[in-house]
Structures are given as structure tokens and as C-alpha cells.
């Protein structure tokens, strides 16, 4: 085990003064009461701040909404799990026997929580500067290749901005139907462009999802027809 | 104006090296393009972290869920507006003429955003330690009187825990009806205790809200009947 912990700390670029903090950070709640849940709470706040600061600095012209969307791509569970796998975190997590058998060490949520807990543990072990450094180190590949914020906007926003850019009126969304039992509702929505009468439809488990799908399809139609007319 | 800024900085317990950061933090987006929106994004992350750390340290036995609920009470908009009013932030905010006329300097959202922007500005001006100190200073009264985390749980959770504590089975929630047009739905939900058949009802704009209301009423019934039987 100690060899594993050595390897992990080399991958982190950080050596713990207090080994008990490191062990707690690696202990999933299934493995006992002295687990990483509280450290995860602390690490979550740290990671959120440091990634927020990183996009703030790297995108000096971006508005708040773009910064928020960029940060979400960095701190969502799947992104954390990717970073956790880069340092082979699954191999050193301590899980209860049930989680072990069901392959919990491969699960995104357990890896993401463990990574946040490590960040929180470094903060308690050494303070903000070291925890910040660790966050930047863990997410260096993602920070080097930040996506274009414009691609992160939801479909309704992109459609609205695209129409406004050429002074066209805003699309109208109408619920066409709402079927199924209360716990498995299906909404169908129509997106209509009032000036040329173009229409698309979307469906989903909520009106919001259905609207987004109808907007996505309208964007595709506009792109296709744009190419044809170009 | 400069006298106002002096007074504000005394209230903050912080003096800016870079006055332009201070002025930007106080500039609402209605007053121009060089406004406080990006600083607010940064300050939001800082405040969230520092309040998270503060409840983490002050509640060494609290589980993650309790820490989260405590933090929410500290960083929600109304709480930020209260802290902003303590330092008379409304008097120094720069607003566009429309917002000025409609009394924007009294609005919770504008005050809360301004406060977060100030925290972000201090971070850029001096770093983490000073920004952290400012957060702790601004919310010292709230941090001294943290609520009991148990009182912050939602009604369904409290009902569940109360029943489990005396080994009673969990309540059952059933949607009784769902009426009204799609954009103004009304759900009616029944909460039923399977062992003694006790029932309560709730209603609201979503199933979740209706369930919480039914659970709240069931808690009231249990408290009343408990007193009668005591």
C-alpha cells in the first residue's frame, strides 16, 4: 500500500506531511466512518474557485456567462474522473467490500469525489497556494485546450443569437402535446420562425428538453439551407 | 465620491492599491461596459470556498450534507444583500440611469453582485489571504450564530429521519391529481404512513413542492398527536 501511496504522491507532485489526511481522502464512505466526504466538500469549493480563476485569467475578454460555462466543463463529474484516472486514483481508493465487488473503483462518482477530497486534504495539509497548484497541475491538459465558449451555449441561446445577428425575429416555442403517466411524461414542442414560417419539432421528458431539441434541429436546418443558398 | 469610497474601505477593513479595481467592482452592468460582472464571477467562487471552509472548521462533526446546507444559508442572495447593507454598499454602487430611477441600489441582486465583485477585486488586488479575511469580516455576525443544521433539512428528509428514529416504515407519496395548463400546473400529492394509515395532503407547482408540503403537514400532525399522547 505504501508503495502505491508513494506513486500517487509523485503523480500529484505533492508529498503529504500528515499521512492520515491522505488516507482519509482516499477512503470512500463505504469503507468506514472516517471517510472522505467532508474533505470532498472542502475540495469541491477549492477546485471551483481555482478553475474559475484559471478561466478568468485565460479569457480576459469573456463575459461571465462564458466563464461559467467553461468552468462547468472543467469541474463536472466526468472531467474529474478523467483527471483521477490520469493519476490512477482508482488503484489506491479504499472501498467497502460491496463497492469493491461491483467495481466501484472504476465509477466516475467515486473517482471524482476522491479527487476533490485529495484537493481538500492538501489545503488542510499546506494551505491555499499548494492546493491551487495541485488543481492547476491536475487539470493542466484541459486548461491548455479550453473549448471555444461559443460552442458551449445551449441550443436555444445559439439559435436566438444567430437570428438576432441578422435582425430576424425570435423563434416561438409551442407545446404540441404532453403524454404519458406523470412519472414518464413526454413533451413535444414546435419551434417556429415567425418571419419565414420555418418549423422544427423536438421531444423530451420536460418542456425544456423538448425546446432545446427543437432549437438544435432548427439550427441544423438553418446551417443546411445556408449552405445551399451560399 | 472619494469620501464615500474612503468610508467603504474603512467598513471593509481593506484599502485598495489599485483604485480602478474598486471602481469596477462598484459598477453595475447598467452603468457601462467596464462593469463588475467578471469580478462577481471570481468573488462568488471565493466566498463559496471561504464560507465552506468556515463551516467545515466550526462544525467538526457535521456531515457533508449539513455543511452544504449551512453554506447555502450564508451565500444565498438575501444573506449577501444583508451583508452589503451593513457596509452601506448601495450608496456607492454606480448604476445606469434606468436602474437609478427604479431604486436599483436597494435591490438584493444588485447589492449581492456588488459584494461578490468587491471580494473578487480584493483577490486580484492582494491575493487569497486578504480576500479570505474580507469574507470572514463581512459575514462575522452570521458565522457567530450559525443555525442548527438539523433545522435546515427539507420536510421530506426530516419526516424520514423522524420515522426511522423510532423504526417506523417510510412514508409513501402519491400524486392524486395534476391540473391546469402546462405552464401553470398544479400537483396534489398525498403522504401516507403505511403502518397507521395516517394521511396528509400537499399541493404546488411541481410534484416536489407538493410532496414537501404534504411532508411538512405530516410533521405537524405527528408533533400535535405526540403532544396529545405525551
Task: Please compute the mean of the pLDDT values over residues B64-82 and round it to a whole number.
Answer: 94
pLDDT of residue A190: 96
A52 close contact with B: CB closer than 8 A: yes
pLDDT of residue A183: 80
Residue B42 and residue A52: Cβ atoms within 8 Å?
Answer: yes
Q: What is the pTM of this model?
A: 0.77
Residue B45 and residue A63: Cβ atoms within 8 Å?
Answer: no
* Contact between B18 and B86 (Cβ < 8 Å): no
Dihedrals phi, psi of A52, to nearest 5 degrees: -60, -45
Residue B180 has pLDDT above 90, yes or no: no
Q: Which residue of chain B has the CA closest to A41?
A: B64
Task: Please compute the mean of the pLDDT values over residues B57-64 and round it to a whole number.
Answer: 94
Task: Please compute the mean of the pLDDT values over residues A138-143 and round it to a whole number.
Answer: 97
Residue A1 confidence class, pLDDT cut points 50, 70, 90: low
A53 close contact with B: CB closer than 8 A: yes
Residue A46 and residue B41: Cβ atoms within 8 Å?
Answer: no
The reply to whether B108 belongs to the active site is: no
B203 close contact with A: CB closer than 8 A: no
- Show the cell assigned to A170: 425570435
Task: Please state, in angstroms and rounded to a whole number, the distance separating the CA atoms of residues B171 and B162.
Answer: 11
Q: How many CB contacts within 8 angstroms connect chain A with chain B?
A: 62
B53 close contact with A: CB closer than 8 A: yes
A42 close contact with B: CB closer than 8 A: yes
Residue A229 has pLDDT above 90, yes or no: no
Task: Please state, in angstroms and rounded to a whole number, the distance separating the CA atoms of residues B165 and B219.
Answer: 14
* SS3 assignment, position B170: coil
Nearest to A182 among B40, B44, B175 (CB): B175
A178 close contact with B: CB closer than 8 A: yes
The tens digit of pLDDT for each residue in A57-74 reads 999 999 999 999 999 999
The tens digit of pLDDT for each residue in B89-102 reads 999 999 999 888 88
The reply to whether B18 belongs to the active site is: no
Task: Please state, in angstroms and rounded to a whole number, the distance separating the CA atoms of residues B72 and B52.
Answer: 9
- Chain B nearest C-alpha distance from A225 (Å): 33
Report the residue of A21, A36, A42, A49 to disrupt the B interface, i.e. the one with the largest count of B CBs within 10 Å.
Answer: A49
Angle between helices B128-138 and A128-138 in degrees, nearest 10: 120
Residue with cell 403517466: A181
Task: Please state, in angstroms and rounded to a whole number, the distance separating the CA atoms of residues B168 and B160.
Answer: 9
The residues in A 115-174 lying below 8 A from B, measured between CB atoms, are: 123, 128-129, 132
Residue B226 confidence class, pLDDT cut points 50, 70, 90: low
Weakest mean pLDDT among A4-13, A43-52, B176-185: B176-185
Weakest mean pLDDT among A185-189, A215-219, B176-180, B220-224: B220-224
Nearest to A178 among B40, B68, B182 (CB): B182
pLDDT of residue A226: 59
Residue A225 has pLDDT above 80, yes or no: no
Residue A38 and residue B56: Cβ atoms within 8 Å?
Answer: yes
- Chain A nearest C-alpha distance from B198 (Å): 24
Residue B8 confidence class, pLDDT cut points 50, 70, 90: very high
Q: Which residues of B39-73 are buried (b: 16+ CB within 10 A; e: fewer)?
A: bbbbbbbbbbbbbbbbbbeeeeebebebbbbbbeb
Give how far the C-alpha of residue B127 lies from the chain's centroid of Cα atoms, to the nearest Å: 25
In A, which residues are within 8 Å of B53 by CB distance?
A: 42, 45, 123
Report the residue of B27, B28, B41, B53 to disrupt the A interface, i.e. the one with the largest count of A CBs within 10 Å.
Answer: B41
Task: Please state, in angstroms and rounded to a whole number, the distance separating the CA atoms of residues B226 and B175.
Answer: 27
Residue B37 and residue A68: Cβ atoms within 8 Å?
Answer: no
Residue A20: count of CB within 10 angstroms of its CB? 11
Q: Which of B44, B113, B125, B216 is catalytic?
A: B44
* Residues 6 or more apart whose Cβ sits within 8 Å of residue A67: A52, A55, A56, A59, A149, B38, B41
Give how far the C-alpha of residue A19 lies from the chain's centroid of Cα atoms, to the nearest Å: 30
Amino acid at each position: 500500500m505504501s508503495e502505491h501511496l508513494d506513486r500517487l504522491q509523485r503523480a500529484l507532485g505533492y508529498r503529504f506531511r500528515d499521512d492520515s489526511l491522505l488516507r482519509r481522502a482516499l477512503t470512500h464512505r463505504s469503507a468506514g466512518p472516517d471517510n472522505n466526504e467532508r474533505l470532498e466538500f472542502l475540495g469541491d469549493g477549492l477546485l471551483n474557485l481555482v478553475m474559475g480563476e484559471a478561466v478568468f485569467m485565460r479569457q480576459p475578454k469573456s463575459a461571465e456567462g462564458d466563464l461559467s460555462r467553461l468552468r462547468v466543463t472543467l469541474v463536472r463529474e466526468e472531467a474529474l474522473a478523467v483527471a483521477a484516472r490520469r493519476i490512477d486514483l482508482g488503484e489506491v481508493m479504499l472501498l467497502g467490500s460491496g463497492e469493491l465487488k461491483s467495481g466501484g473503483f472504476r465509477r466516475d462518482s467515486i473517482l471524482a469525489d476522491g479527487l476533490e477530497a485529495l484537493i481538500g486534504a492538501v489545503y488542510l495539509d499546506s494551505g491555499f497556494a499548494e492546493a491551487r497548484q495541485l488543481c492547476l497541475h491536475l487539470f493542466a491538459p484541459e486548461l491548455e485546450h479550453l473549448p471555444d465558449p461559443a460552442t458551449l451555449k445551449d441550443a436555444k441561446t445559439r439559435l436566438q443569437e444567430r437570428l438576432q445577428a441578422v435582425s430576424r425575429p425570435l423563434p416561438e416555442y409551442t407545446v404540441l402535446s404532453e403524454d404519458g403517466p406523470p412519472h414518464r411524461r413526454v413533451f413535444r414542442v414546435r419551434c417556429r420562425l415567425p418571419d419565414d414560417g420555418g418549423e422544427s419539432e423536438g421531444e423530451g421528458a420536460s418542456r425544456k428538453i423538448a425546446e432545446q431539441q427543437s432549437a438544435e434541429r432548427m439550427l441544423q436546418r438553418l446551417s443546411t439551407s445556408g449552405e445551399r443558398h451560399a
